[in-house]
Amino acid sequence: MARTVLLPVLLSFLLLPLASLALTQDFCVADLTCSDTPAGYPCKSSVTANDFYYHGLAGKGKINPLIKAAVTPAFVGQFPGVNGLGISAARLDIEVGGVVPLHTHPAGSELLFVTQGTVAAGFISSGSNTVYTKTLYAGDIMVFPQGLLHYQYNAGTGPAIGLVAFSSSNPGLQITDFALFANNLPSAVVEKVTFLDDAQVKKLKSVLGGSG
C-alpha cells in the first residue's frame, strides 16, 4: 500500500528537473545541418535576429499547373526559429479553378485565414466520416483538426489567398492523390485498395507521374 502511494510522489520529483529545464530555455533555433529527430532539430550554437524572421510568405508562391495552386510553407525546414515552439505557417495561393486536393497534416492542426477571394473548404471526421464544409470569404477563418483529411478550392471569380497557422513546427503534408498515384505502388494493389479499375488507375498514374 505504501509503495502504491509513494510511486506518484516519486515520479513527480523525477519530472521536476525536466520541467525546470524547459522553463529555463527560451528557444532552440534549429541547426539544419543536423538531422531532424522526433524531438525536433538540435539547437544552433550561434543565433541572430534573422533566425526569428522569415520573408518567404510575402509574395505569391509558385503555382503548380496541375492543381492551379501553390502551398508555400514556413515550417522548421524553412524557418528554423520555430523549432520546438509548436507553431509554423504557410501561404495558400489558389488561382481561379484551382484546388488544394484532399490532404492531411499528421503532426498538427491547421487554422486557415482567408485574406483575399473566396475559398470552399472542408474536412472529414475520422470516426463517422462526417463532412464539415464552409465557404470562406476575406476575413474568415476555419480550423482543420490534426490528421483529418481536408481540402480547399477557389470558389470565386478571382485569385484567392490564405495564410495558415499550424500547431506544430513540422506538421507534415500528405496529399491523398499523390500518395496513391504518384509513386511506384503497383497498379494491381491500388485497384484492390481503392476499387478503381485498371484504366482509371493507369490514367491517374500517368497524370501524376507514378509508375507500376
Q: Poorest-confidence range of 13-17, 82-86, 150-154, 159-163?
A: 13-17
In a domain, 22, yes or no: no
User: Domain total for the chain?
Assistant: 2
The annotation places the binding site for Mn(2+) at 103, 105, 110, 150
In a shared domain, residues 187 and 168: no
In this structure, which amino acid lies at residue 11? L
Give the dihedral of Cα atoms 143, 147, 149, 153; nearest 10 deg. 40
In a shared domain, residues 200 and 131: no
Q: What is the pLDDT of residue 15?
A: 46
Q: What is the distance between the alpha carbons of residues 161 and 128, in angstroms, rounded to a whole number?
A: 31
In a shared domain, residues 143 and 110: yes
Q: pLDDT band at 18, cuts 50/70/90?
A: very low
- Give tens-digit pLDDT for 109-118: 999 999 999 9
The annotation places the binding site for oxalate at 105, 110
Buried b (16+ CB within 10 A) or exposed e, 35-72: eeeeebbbbbeeeeeebeebeebeeebeeeeebbbbbb
- Give tens-digit pLDDT for 164-189: 999 999 999 999 999 999 999 999 99
Q: How far is CA 163 from the centre of its chain?
A: 13
In a domain, 137, yes or no: yes
In a domain, 151, yes or no: yes
In a shared domain, residues 168 and 187: no
In a shared domain, residues 136 and 81: yes
In a shared domain, residues 94 and 166: yes
In a shared domain, residues 74 and 167: yes
In a shared domain, residues 134 and 165: yes
Q: pLDDT band at 38, cuts 50/70/90?
A: confident
In a shared domain, residues 63 and 93: yes
In a shared domain, residues 141 and 191: no
C-alpha cell at 89: 505557417
Give the global pTM: 0.85
In a shared domain, residues 62 and 155: yes
The annotation places the binding site at 103, 105, 110, 150
In a shared domain, residues 122 and 195: no
Q: What is the distance between the alpha carbons of residues 30 and 28, in angstroms, rounded to a whole number?
A: 6
What is the extent of the structural domain holding 113?
49-172
- Give tens-digit pLDDT for 87-103: 999 999 999 999 999 99
